[in-house]
Structure 1
Amino acid sequence: MSTPILFVDRDGTLIEEPDDFQIDAYEKLRFVRDVIPAMLRLRDAGWEFVMVTNQDGLGTEAYPEAAFAGPHALMLQVFESQGIVFREVLIDRSFAAEGLPTRKPGIGLALHYLRDRSIDLARSAMVGDRETDLQFAANLGVRGFQLRTEQFGGEWDWPGIAHALADAPRQARVQRTTRETSIRVEVDLDRAAEPRIATGLAFFDHMLEQIGKHGGFALAIQAEGDLHIDEHHTVEDTALALGQALREALGDKRGIGRYGFDGAADDEASGRADVTLPMDETLARAALDFGGRPYLVFDGAFRRERVGDLPTELVPHFFRSLCDAAGLNLHLRVRGENDHHQIEALFKALARALRQALRRRGAELPSTKGTL
C-alpha cells in the first residue's frame, strides 16, 4: 500500500516564529499548540512526515550555521522523543530575490517524491502558515492547509488538520442543474447535525429530514423546481442528487458496513436482528446493500392520491431514483392503514438501514471481489 506524506513547514507551523524570523537560540524554541498530539494521530493513521523549510541566508554571516543547528537539533530530538520522526528534512538556504526553484513555493527540493511510486500523492498534503506554503502544495499537486496565525491569517488549527486527514471525513457537495430543477445537496457522513431541507414541498421536506435525523449524518438539501408544472421533476432530481452525494462521500467504500437492516446495528452485541420499524398501526421493513448494483424492490400500496403536497405515486419513484444514483440495492416493505404513517415509516426505515450500512468498522473493503 502506498504511503501518504505530510509535507510540513517549520517556522510558524511546527515551532513558533519569533519577531526577527530566526530561531537562532535555545530560548526562542517554542512548539506550536497541539502540533505533537495532532502529528501522533497522523502517524498512527499511516502518515509519514517531510519537513520543507526556507531558511533565508542560512550559513551566511548574518545567520551562522552554528546558531541554527543547536535549536534545530533539539526540536528534532523533542519530536523523536514523542515518537515523531521526519522521513526527510528539506532546507533551502537562498534569499527570495534569487528566485531559485528549490525555494518554496518552488518544488525543486521535493521533485523526487513525484517520481516515487511508493508515495500516495493523492492523499498527501502540505501544512504551512504562509501563502507560499499553499502555492507549494498546488505546485506539488497535493492538498494545502494554511495554519491559522495572527500574522498571516489561515483557517486551520492542528486538531482540525488531524481530523481532516486522519479521520478523512466522508463529505460531498453535489449541484444538479437542469432546465427543470436546481438541486444542491451536502452530506457529511461522519457528523450528526439537524437536517436543513427546503424543496418547496413541505411533506417531502419532512420525509427528507427523517433520512438525516435517523440516518445519523449531516444532510442539507436546497431544491428549486418547476412546481408550477408538477412535483415529479423536483422529487426525482432530489433523489438523484442525494444518491450521487452518498456515492461520492463513500469513495471506495473501505471500512463501511455495506449492508443495512434498519435497527439491527443498535443492538449488535445481543445478536438481535430487528429489521422492522413500527409507526402506530404501520410496520415497515428495509434492507439495503451498497454493493454498486442498483435495484429496488418495493412492496406496498397507498390509498390516497396525495399526502400533503406529495403525490404518493412518487414515493417508490423517489426510492428507485435514489438507488440508481447511489448504486444501491434496496428492499422496502410496508403495511398499514394510514398513508402518512406508511410513507414516514418507509423513510425512517431507510434511514435506520443507512445508519448501519454507512457506519465505519475498520479499513477493509467489504467485498470478496476487491471492489464495490
Structure 2
Amino acid sequence: MSALTPILFVDRDGTLIEEPADFQIDSFAKLRFVRGVIPAMLKLRDAGYQFVMVTNQDGLGTEAYPRWSFDGPHQLMMQVFESQGIVFREVLIDTSFPGENLPTRKPGIGLALPLLKDRSIDWERSAMVGDRETDNGFAANLGIRAFQLRTEQFGGQWDWAGIAHALADRPRTARVRRNTKETRIEVAVDLDRAAEPRVHTGLGFFDHMLEQLGKHGGFALELRCEGDLHIDEHHTIEDSALALGQALREALGDKRGIGRYGFDPRAESGAATLSNSSESIAENLPSSHEFILPMDETLARAALDFSGRPYFVFSGSFARERVGDFPTELLAHFFRSLCETSGLNLNLNVQGDNDHHKIEACFKSVARALRQAVARQGSELPSTKGVL
C-alpha cells in the first residue's frame, strides 16, 4: 500500500501574497509575496506535501470586482510559484459575499468536500495556513491543524519558517505550565531546533546555567519562573528543574529513534589531551564512557540514560556557600529534581578549584550529554524491553 499524502490548504490574500488596504489585489502593482513563503513551501513540498489554495474573493465577477482585474495578478502569482517548483493540486475560489452564508465560503468546507472522498490523503498530517479566524474555522471543520500567520491586523503567532519547521521536521516539542503557591513556571522546549535560550527566573547566575543547557544541548529552550525569592532560592531552582524535566519527557514521547545514552565514547583518549592544569584530575578518573568537559582547572564528567528510571549520582564539593545568587548546595538538588520528572539516570562528577567553573562545567557537560542522547538516530526503540 502506498504512503498517504498530506495536504496543505493555503489561503491566498494575506497568506501567500500581501493583502492591500482595500482587500482586492486587482492590479499588478499590488502583487507582493509574503516574506518566506517560497522557501517554506519548497521545504514542505520536499517533505511530501501537496498544496490546495482555498480563498474567499468577495463578489469576484461582479461590476465592482471584474474577473479580468483578478486574473492578471493571480496568473502572474501562479507563474512565479510554478517557476520555483511550487504547483497547486487545486485552486478553490469562492466568489460569494459574507451575507449569503454559502457552504462554499470559508469557514465552510463546501469546496473541499470532493477531497474527503480521496483515501490517499493523510488527514492526520494535513493542515491549513491562513491569516484570519475564518481560516482557523475552515481547519476546525475539516478536522486538521490550523496555523494562523502573524499579522498586525488579525494577530496570529506563526511565520512561514516556523510552519515549515513544525510540519516538515515534525519537531519534538512540549510546553509545560507548573503553578504552585511557591512558583509559577512556564517552560517550552523544541528538541529539533537550535535557538538562543530565553530564560528568566530572577536569579542571574541560575539563568546563565539554564542557558548553558539549551545552548550546548542544541535545543530551543524558553523558561520563565516567578518564584518566592523573598523567602529563598530553593523553590525557584527546584521547581524549574521539575518543570524542565517534565517538558523533556513529554517532548521525547515514546523515545523511538533517540540515541538514549549521552556520553563521549572517546572520553579516555580525550582526557589525555587536556591542559596541564587538568591532567592530575584526569589521571584519577576511571576509564568509562562519559562526556568529559574541561573548563580551565576544572573537569566535569556526565553520563546519562533516558531509561525512564530516575536515578542521580553526584560526586563533588564546593568551598563557597554560593556563586552569585546560586547556592552551591542546590546544584545536586537541581539535577536530582530534573532526573525525577524526566525519567533520567544521570551520573555527574566534578573536580577543580574554582566553584564558578565547577558549576558551569557541570551544566555544560550534562548539556552535551543531553544533545547526544536526544539526537534522532533512526526509528527503532533503543531498548530490548520494548519500552522506555
Q: TM-score per shorter chain, which class?
A: 0.7 to 0.9
- Distance in 1 of aligned mates of 2:230 and 2:66: 75
- Distance in 2 of aligned mates of 1:21 and 1:171: 36
Gaps of 5+ in 2: 271-288
**Within 5 A, what are the aligned runs for 1:54-93?**
54-57=56-59, 76=78, 79-93=81-95
Match of 2:278 in 1: none
**SS in structure 2 at match of 1:89:** strand
- Distance in 1 of aligned mates of 2:326 and 2:161: 44
Matched, 1:357 2:373: yes
**Retained in 1: the 8 A contact 2:256–2:382?**
no
- Distance in 2 of aligned mates of 1:260 and 1:351: 9
Gaps of 5+ in 1: none
- Distance in 1 of aligned mates of 2:291 and 2:358: 16
Matched, 1:325 2:368: no
Name the amino acid aligned to 1:4: P
Post-superposition shift, 1:286? 1.0
Post-superposition shift, 1:180? 2.8
**Within 5 A, what are the aligned runs for 1:274-289?**
275-289=291-305
**SS in structure 1 at match of 2:85:** coil
Query: Which of residues 6, 9, 12 is equivalent to 1:10?
Result: 12
**Retained in 2: the 8 A contact 1:225–1:233?**
yes
Q: Aligned pair count? A: 362
Cα displacement string for residues 18-55 of structure 1 (whole angstroms, at most 9, x for unaligned residues): 78766788x68946255333311110122221111224
Query: Which of residues 356, 361, 386 is equivalent to 1:345?
Result: 361
**SS in structure 2 at match of 1:183:** strand
Name the amino acid aligned to 2:261: Y
**SS in structure 1 at match of 2:210:** helix
- Distance in 1 of aligned mates of 2:309 and 2:160: 40
**Within 5 A, what are the aligned runs for 1:1-372?**
2-15=4-17, 30=31, 32-33=33-34, 34-57=36-59, 76=78, 79-111=81-113, 119-141=121-143, 142-146=145-149, 148=151, 157-168=159-170, 171-189=173-191, 190-193=193-196, 196-200=199-203, 204-226=206-228, 231-251=233-253, 256-261=258-263, 275-291=291-307, 293-302=308-317, 306-308=321-323, 312-336=328-352, 341-359=357-375, 364=379, 367=382
Cα displacement string for residues 241-297 of structure 1 (whole angstroms, at most 9, x for unaligned residues): 1112223344565665443225979x99xxxx8731224554321122335x13324
C-alpha distance 40-210 of structure 1, shift in aligned 2 (>3 A): closer
Which piece of structure 1 moves more, 325-334 or 235-244?
325-334
C-alpha distance 298-155 of structure 1, shift in aligned 2 (>3 A): closer
C-alpha distance 58-192 of structure 1, shift in aligned 2 (>3 A): closer
**Retained in 1: the 8 A contact 2:201–2:236?**
no
Name the amino acid aligned to 2:317: F
- Distance in 2 of aligned mates of 1:56 and 1:203: 57
**Retained in 2: the 8 A contact 1:185–1:242?**
yes
**Retained in 2: the 8 A contact 1:240–1:324?**
yes
Post-superposition shift, 1:126? 1.9
**Retained in 2: the 8 A contact 1:263–1:353?**
no
Which piece of structure 1 moves more, 239-248 or 312-321?
312-321
Name the amino acid aligned to 2:382: S
C-alpha distance 254-73 of structure 1, shift in aligned 2 (>3 A): farther
Match of 2:279 in 1: none
**Retained in 2: the 8 A contact 1:286–1:333?**
yes
C-alpha distance 298-337 of structure 1, shift in aligned 2 (>3 A): farther
- Distance in 2 of aligned mates of 1:12 and 1:209: 36
- Distance in 1 of aligned mates of 2:322 and 2:141: 55
- Distance in 1 of aligned mates of 2:312 and 2:21: 67
Post-superposition shift, 1:348? 2.0
- Distance in 2 of aligned mates of 1:128 and 1:60: 25
Identical positions, percent: 67
- Distance in 1 of aligned mates of 2:330 and 2:177: 22
| RMSD of equivalent CA atoms | 4.3
**Retained in 2: the 8 A contact 1:137–1:143?**
yes
- Distance in 2 of aligned mates of 1:203 and 1:215: 18
- Distance in 2 of aligned mates of 1:360 and 1:74: 41
- Distance in 1 of aligned mates of 2:187 and 2:315: 28
**SS in structure 2 at match of 1:184:** strand
C-alpha distance 113-259 of structure 1, shift in aligned 2 (>3 A): farther
Which piece of structure 1 moves more, 72-81 or 172-181?
72-81
- Distance in 2 of aligned mates of 1:296 and 1:219: 23
**Retained in 1: the 8 A contact 2:103–2:110?**
yes
